Amino acid sequence: MSYFSNVDKVKYEGVKSDNPFAFRHYNPEEEVLGKTMKEHLRFAVAYWHTITEDGGDPFGTGTAIRNWDGDTPMETAKNRVDAFFELLVKLDVEYFAFHDVDIAPTGDSLEEFFSNLDEITDLIKEKMDETGIKLLWNTQNVFTHPRFVHGAATSNNADVFAYAAAQVKKTIDLSVKLGGENIVFWGGREGYESLLNTDLELELDNMARLLQMAVDYAEKVGHKVQFLLEPKPKEPMTHQYDHDAATTVAFLQKYNLMEHFKLNLEGNHATLAGHTFEHELRVARSYDALGSIDANHAEKMLGWDTDEFPTNIYDTTLTMYEILENGGIAPGGINFDAKVRRTSFEMDDLVLAHIAGMDTFARGLKSAAKMKEEKFLDDIIEKRYASYTEGIGKRIVDNEEDLESLTKYALDNKEIKNESSHLEFIKSRMNDYLV
Amino acid sequence: MSYFSNVDKVKYEGVKSDNPFAFRHYNPEEEVLGKTMKEHLRFAVAYWHTITEDGGDPFGTGTAIRNWDGDTPMETAKNRVDAFFELLVKLDVEYFAFHDVDIAPTGDSLEEFFSNLDEITDLIKEKMDETGIKLLWNTQNVFTHPRFVHGAATSNNADVFAYAAAQVKKTIDLSVKLGGENIVFWGGREGYESLLNTDLELELDNMARLLQMAVDYAEKVGHKVQFLLEPKPKEPMTHQYDHDAATTVAFLQKYNLMEHFKLNLEGNHATLAGHTFEHELRVARSYDALGSIDANHAEKMLGWDTDEFPTNIYDTTLTMYEILENGGIAPGGINFDAKVRRTSFEMDDLVLAHIAGMDTFARGLKSAAKMKEEKFLDDIIEKRYASYTEGIGKRIVDNEEDLESLTKYALDNKEIKNESSHLEFIKSRMNDYLV
Amino acid sequence: MSYFSNVDKVKYEGVKSDNPFAFRHYNPEEEVLGKTMKEHLRFAVAYWHTITEDGGDPFGTGTAIRNWDGDTPMETAKNRVDAFFELLVKLDVEYFAFHDVDIAPTGDSLEEFFSNLDEITDLIKEKMDETGIKLLWNTQNVFTHPRFVHGAATSNNADVFAYAAAQVKKTIDLSVKLGGENIVFWGGREGYESLLNTDLELELDNMARLLQMAVDYAEKVGHKVQFLLEPKPKEPMTHQYDHDAATTVAFLQKYNLMEHFKLNLEGNHATLAGHTFEHELRVARSYDALGSIDANHAEKMLGWDTDEFPTNIYDTTLTMYEILENGGIAPGGINFDAKVRRTSFEMDDLVLAHIAGMDTFARGLKSAAKMKEEKFLDDIIEKRYASYTEGIGKRIVDNEEDLESLTKYALDNKEIKNESSHLEFIKSRMNDYLV
Amino acid sequence: MSYFSNVDKVKYEGVKSDNPFAFRHYNPEEEVLGKTMKEHLRFAVAYWHTITEDGGDPFGTGTAIRNWDGDTPMETAKNRVDAFFELLVKLDVEYFAFHDVDIAPTGDSLEEFFSNLDEITDLIKEKMDETGIKLLWNTQNVFTHPRFVHGAATSNNADVFAYAAAQVKKTIDLSVKLGGENIVFWGGREGYESLLNTDLELELDNMARLLQMAVDYAEKVGHKVQFLLEPKPKEPMTHQYDHDAATTVAFLQKYNLMEHFKLNLEGNHATLAGHTFEHELRVARSYDALGSIDANHAEKMLGWDTDEFPTNIYDTTLTMYEILENGGIAPGGINFDAKVRRTSFEMDDLVLAHIAGMDTFARGLKSAAKMKEEKFLDDIIEKRYASYTEGIGKRIVDNEEDLESLTKYALDNKEIKNESSHLEFIKSRMNDYLV
pLDDT by residue for chain A (435 residues), tens only, comes to 799 998 999 999 999 999 999 999 999 999 999 999 999 999 999 999 999 999 999 999 999 999 999 999 999 999 999 999 999 999 999 999 999 999 999 999 999 999 999 999 999 999 999 999 999 999 999 999 999 999 999 999 999 999 999 999 999 999 999 999 999 999 999 999 999 999 999 999 999 999 999 999 999 999 999 999 999 999 999 999 999 999 999 999 999 999 999 999 999 999 999 999 999 999 999 999 999 999 999 999 999 999 999 999 999 999 999 999 999 999 999 999 999 999 999 999 999 999 999 999 999 999 999 999 999 999 999 999 999 999 999 999 999 999 999 999 999 998 899 999 999 999 999 999 998
Quote the CA–CA distance of B118 and C92 in Å, as a whole number: 71
Residue ranges in C228-276 assigned as alpha helix (H):
245-254, 267-272
Phi, psi of A136 (to 5 degrees): -70, -50
Instruction: Inform me whether the pLDDT recorded for D226 exceeds 90.
Output: yes
Model pLDDT, residue D414 = 86
**DSSP characters for C104-132?**
S---SSHHHHHHHHHHHHHHHHHHHHHH-
Residue D40 CA to its chain's centroid (Å): 15
Q: Is D376 left (phi over 0), alpha (psi -120 to 50) or beta?
A: alpha
Q: Which residue type, as a one-letter code, is found at position C415?
A: E
Quote the CA–CA distance of B255 and B227 in Å, as a whole number: 15
Q: Are C305 and A58 in contact (CB under 8 A)?
A: yes
Quote the CA–CA distance of B225 and B205 in Å, as a whole number: 23
Q: What subunits touch chain C, counting only 3 or more CB pairs under 8 A?
A: A, B, D
Query: What pLDDT digit, counting tens, does each position of C197-250 carry?
Result: 999 999 999 999 999 999 999 999 999 999 999 999 999 999 999 999 999 999
Nearest chain B Cα distance for residue C231, angstroms: 18
Q: Which residue type, as a one-letter code, is found at position B289?
A: A
Model pLDDT, residue A1 = 79
Residue ranges in D2-49 assigned as alpha helix (H):
37-41, 47
Tell me the Cα Rg of chain B. Answer: 24
What is the residue-averaged pLDDT of chain D? 98
Phi, psi of A178 (to 5 degrees): -100, 5
What is each CA distance from A279 to A268, A361, B247, B362, C111, in whole angstroms?
Answer: 13, 18, 13, 41, 55
In D91-178, the DSSP E strands lie at 95-99, 134-139
ipTM above 0.85? yes
**DSSP characters for D19-31?**
-TTSBSS--TT-E
Q: Are C47 and C102 in contact (CB under 8 A)?
A: yes
Facing residues of B43 across strands? B334
Question: Does D309 sit within 8 Å of A420, measured CB to CB?
Answer: no
D363 contact partners, CB below 8 Å, separation of at least 6: A431, D25, D313, D316, D317, D434, D435
What is each CA distance from B214 to A388, B158, B166, B167, B226, in whole angstroms?
Answer: 20, 17, 10, 11, 11
- Residue D346: CA count within 13 A, CB half-sphere: 17
Model pLDDT, residue D376 = 98
Question: Does D238 sit within 8 Å of B193, measured CB to CB?
Answer: no
Q: Which residue type, as a one-letter code, is found at position B236?
A: P
Model pLDDT, residue D177 = 98
What is each CA distance from D44 to B150, C228, D4, D77, D414, in whole angstroms?
Answer: 30, 44, 18, 20, 58
Question: Does C146 sit within 8 Å of A61, measured CB to CB?
Answer: yes
What is each CA distance from C160 to B208, C154, C165, D422, in whole angstroms?
Answer: 62, 9, 8, 19
Model pLDDT, residue B1 = 79
Question: Does C343 sit within 8 Å of A193, measured CB to CB?
Answer: yes
How buried is D130 (Cβ within 10 angstroms: 0-12 exposed, 13-18 middle, 19+ buried)? exposed
C345 CB near a chain B CB, below 8 Å? yes
User: pLDDT class for D1, splitting at 50, 70, 90?
Assistant: confident
Model pLDDT, residue A161 = 98
Residue A369 CA to its chain's centroid (Å): 21
Closest CA to B99 of B40, B152, B162, B149: B152
Enter the DSSP assignment of C297. Answer: B
Mean predicted confidence (pLDDT) in C94-113: 98
Cα angle: D206, vertex D211, D215; to 5 degrees: 145
Model pLDDT, residue C414 = 86
Model pLDDT, residue A415 = 87
Percent of chain C clearing pLDDT 70 (strictly above): 100
Closest CA to C229 of C174, C274, C184: C184
Mean predicted confidence (pLDDT) in C34-55: 98
Quote the CA–CA distance of A401 and B165 in Å, as a whole number: 10
3-class secondary-structure state, position A422: coil
C102 is catalytic: yes
In D10-88, the DSSP E strands lie at 31-32, 35-36, 43-46
Q: Are D280 and D245 in contact (CB under 8 A)?
A: yes
Q: Are B210 and B164 in contact (CB under 8 A)?
A: yes
User: pLDDT class for D270, splitting at 50, 70, 90?
Assistant: very high
Quote the CA–CA distance of B75 and B69 in Å, as a whole number: 8
Facing residues of C226 across strands? C182
Residue D234 CA to its chain's centroid (Å): 16
Q: Are A45 and A379 in contact (CB under 8 A)?
A: no
Would you tell me the crossing angle of helices A403-412 and B110-131 to the nearest 10 degrees? 130
Q: Are C28 and C286 in contact (CB under 8 A)?
A: no
Q: Which residues of D53-86 are buried (b: 16+ CB within 10 A; e: fewer)?
A: bebbbebbeebbebebeeeeeeeebbbbbebbbb
Query: What pLDDT digit, counting tens, does each position of B157-167 carry?
Result: 999 999 999 99
Instruction: Mark which residues 281-320 of A lie under 8 Å from C by CB.
Output: 299, 301-305
B260 is catalytic: no
Percent of chain D clearing pLDDT 70 (strictly above): 100
What is each CA distance from D47 to D77, D132, D327, in whole angstroms?
Answer: 11, 17, 28
How many CB atoms are located within 10 Å of the residue D197 CB?
21
Q: Which of D49, D99, D243, D354 is catalytic?
A: D99
Instruction: Mark which residues 47-86 of C lie under 8 Å from A by CB.
Output: 55, 57-63
Model pLDDT, residue D24 = 98
Q: Which of B92, B102, B307, B359 is catalytic?
A: B102
Query: What pLDDT digit, counting tens, does each position of B177-211 carry?
Result: 999 999 999 999 999 999 999 999 999 999 999 99
**Residue of A304, A308, A309, A344 to mutate, testing the C interface (most C Cβ within 10 Å of its Cβ):** A304
Question: Does A235 sit within 8 Å of C149, measured CB to CB?
Answer: no
Would you tell me the crossing angle of helices D110-131 and D158-178 to the nearest 10 degrees? 20
Nearest chain C Cα distance for residue A303, angstroms: 4
**Residue of A65, A149, A186 to mutate, testing the C interface (most C Cβ within 10 Å of its Cβ):** A149
Q: Which residue type, as a one-letter code, is found at position D49?
A: H
Q: Are C317 and C281 in contact (CB under 8 A)?
A: no
Length in residues, chain A: 435
B233 contact partners, CB below 8 Å, separation of at least 6: A274, B239, B240, B243, B244, B269, B272, B273, B274
Instruction: Inform me whether the pLDDT recorded for D387 exceeds 90.
Output: yes
Closest CA to A157 of B208, D85, B391, B292: B391
Cα angle: A164, vertex A167, A170; to 5 degrees: 155
How many CB atoms are located within 10 Å of the residue A201 CB?
12
Residue B22 CA to its chain's centroid (Å): 25
User: pLDDT class for D97, splitting at 50, 70, 90?
Assistant: very high
Mean predicted confidence (pLDDT) in D271-289: 98
Alpha-carbon torsion C263, C268, C274, C278, what sign?
A: positive
A343 CB near a chain C CB, below 8 Å? yes
**Residue of A57, A102, A302, A308 to mutate, testing the C interface (most C Cβ within 10 Å of its Cβ):** A302
Nearest chain C residue (CA) to D245: C247
Alpha-carbon torsion C335, C338, C344, C345, what sign?
A: positive
Mean predicted confidence (pLDDT) in D361-385: 98
Instruction: Inform me whether the pLDDT recorded for C36 exceeds 90.
Output: yes
Cα angle: B111, vertex B116, B119; to 5 degrees: 130
